[in-house]
Amino acid sequence: MDEILEKQNIDVAVIGAGPSGLSAAITLKKSGIQRVVVLEREAVAGGIPRHCGHPPFGIREFQRILTGPTYSKKLVEEAQNVGVIIKLKTTVTMLFSGGKLSITSPDGGKQLTAKRVLLATGIRETPCSARMVSASRSLGIFNTGALQSMIYLKNLIPFRRPIIVGTEIVSYSALLTCRNAGIQPVSMLEEKAHSTVRWPIYMLGRWLGVPLLLQTSIVKILGKERVEAVEISDGNGQMKKIVCDGVLFTGQYLPESSLARISHLEFDPKTNSPKVDEFGRCSDPVYYAAGNVVQPTQDQAKVPIYYTAENLPNPVYAAWQCWKQGRATAKNIFKDLAGTLPSFSH
Ligand SMILES: Cc1cc2nc3c(=O)[nH]c(=O)nc-3n(C[C@H](O)[C@H](O)[C@H](O)COP(=O)(O)OP(=O)(O)OC[C@H]3O[C@@H](n4cnc5c(N)ncnc54)[C@H](O)[C@@H]3O)c2cc1C
pLDDT at 132: 83
- 319 and 272: one domain? yes
Q: Which residue, of 249, 267, 283, is where some domain finishes?
A: 249
Q: 174 in ligand 1 pocket by Cβ < 6 Å? A: no
**Phi, psi dihedrals of residue 186, rounded to the nearest 5°:** -75, -45
pLDDT in tens, 147-194: 999 998 899 999 999 999 999 989 999 999 999 999 999 999 999 998
Query: Given pLDDT bands bounded at 50, 70 and 90, which one contains residue 263?
Result: very high
pLDDT at 176: 92
- 118 and 25: one domain? yes
- 258 and 118: one domain? yes
pLDDT in tens, 273-295: 999 999 999 999 999 999 999 98
pLDDT at 309: 58
Query: Residue 284 is which amino acid?
Result: D
Pairing mode, strands 91-96 and 141-143: unpaired
Percent of the chain with pLDDT over 70: 92
What integer is the mean pLDDT of 101-115? 95
Bridge partners (DSSP) of residue 143 are 249
pLDDT in tens, 159-168: 999 999 999 9
pLDDT at 137: 79
Q: Could you tell me if residue 137 is inside a domain?
A: yes
DSSP state of 149: I
Q: 39 in ligand 1 pocket by Cβ < 6 Å? A: yes
- 195 and 283: one domain? no
The torsion of the CA quartet 185, 66, 86, 143, rounded to 10 degrees, works out to: -10
Q: 255 in ligand 1 pocket by Cβ < 6 Å? A: no
- 117 and 201: one domain? no
Rounded to whole angstroms, how far apart are CA atoms 193 and 270?
A: 25
- Distance of CA 320 from the midpoint of ligand 1 (Å): 12
- Distance of CA 10 from the midpoint of ligand 1 (Å): 24
- 224 and 174: one domain? yes
- 115 and 159: one domain? no
Query: Given pLDDT bands bounded at 50, 70 and 90, which one contains residue 135?
Result: confident
Rounded to whole angstroms, how far apart are CA atoms 82 and 293?
A: 25
**Phi, psi dihedrals of residue 147, rounded to the nearest 5°:** -60, -50
- 245 and 265: one domain? no
Q: Could you tell me if residue 344 is inside a domain?
A: no
- Distance of CA 17 from the midpoint of ligand 1 (Å): 9
Within 13 A of 14's CA, how many CA atoms are on the CB side? 35
pLDDT in tens, 189-247: 999 998 888 888 889 999 999 999 999 999 999 999 999 999 999 888 899 999 999 99
Query: Given pLDDT bands bounded at 50, 70 and 90, which one contains residue 345?
Result: low
Q: Which residue, of 193, 224, 249, is where some domain finishes?
A: 249
- 14 and 118: one domain? yes
Mutate-to-test residue for ligand 1 from 48, 57, 170, highest number of ligand atoms within 8 A of CB: 48
* CATH code (residue 112): 3.50.50.60
Q: Could you tell me if residue 19 is inside a domain?
A: yes
Kindly report the pTM of this predicted structure: 0.92
Query: Given pLDDT bands bounded at 50, 70 and 90, which one contains residue 297?
Result: low
- Distance of CA 51 from the midpoint of ligand 1 (Å): 10
Please tell me the residue having the least CA distance from ligand 1 atom 27.
122
Q: Could you tell me if residue 224 is inside a domain?
A: yes
Task: Work out whether the CA dihedral 30, 32, 33, 36 comes out positive or negative.
Answer: positive
- 30 and 137: one domain? no
pLDDT in tens, 40-74: 999 999 999 999 888 889 999 999 999 999 999 99
Query: Given pLDDT bands bounded at 50, 70 and 90, which one contains residue 138?
Result: confident
Query: Given pLDDT bands bounded at 50, 70 and 90, which one contains residue 330?
Result: very high
What integer is the mean pLDDT of 244-268? 95
pLDDT at 302: 60
- 228 and 119: one domain? no
Tally of structural domains, the chain: 2
Q: Could you tell me if residue 345 is inside a domain?
A: no
Q: What is the DSSP string of 327-341?
A: HHHHHHHHHHHTT-S
Among candidate residues 200, 198, 177, 168, the one with its CA nearest the CA of residue 188:
168
Mutate-to-test residue for ligand 1 from 94, 103, 121, 149, highest number of ligand atoms within 8 A of CB: 121
pLDDT at 303: 59
Q: Could you tell me if residue 12 is inside a domain?
A: yes
Task: Work out whether the CA dihedral 80, 83, 88, 91 comes out positive or negative.
Answer: negative
Rounded to whole angstroms, how far apart are CA atoms 112 and 100?
A: 6
Instruction: Give me the helix-helix angle, 68-81 and 19-30, nearest 10°.
Output: 30
pLDDT in tens, 92-105: 999 999 999 999 99
**Phi, psi dihedrals of residue 275, rounded to the nearest 5°:** -75, 135
Sequence-distant (6+) residues with CB within 8 A of 140 are 158, 159, 162, 223, 226, 227, 245, 246, 247
Q: Could you tell me if residue 343 is inside a domain?
A: no
- Distance of CA 225 from the midpoint of ligand 1 (Å): 30
Q: Which of ligand 1's atoms lies nearest the C-alpha of 290?
A: 26
pLDDT in tens, 306-323: 656 565 556 788 899 999
Question: Is the model more confident about 326 or about 4?
Answer: 326
- 68 and 211: one domain? no
Q: Which of ligand 1's atoms lies nearest the C-alpha of 258?
A: 41
Q: Could you tell me if residue 346 is inside a domain?
A: no
Q: Which residue, of 232, 249, 266, is where some domain finishes?
A: 249
Please enumerate, as own/partner, the contacts of 152-158 that have beta carbons within 8 Å and a separation of 24 or more.
152/50, 152/51, 152/52, 152/53, 152/69, 152/177, 153/50, 153/51, 157/181, 157/182, 157/183, 158/246
Per-residue pLDDT at 134 exceeds 70 = yes
DSSP state of 181: T
Q: Are 117 and 12 in contact (CB under 8 A)?
A: yes
Q: 151 in ligand 1 pocket by Cβ < 6 Å? A: no
- Distance of CA 48 from the midpoint of ligand 1 (Å): 4
**Phi, psi dihedrals of residue 68, rounded to the nearest 5°:** -55, -50
Residue 332's domain comprises: 2-124+253-337
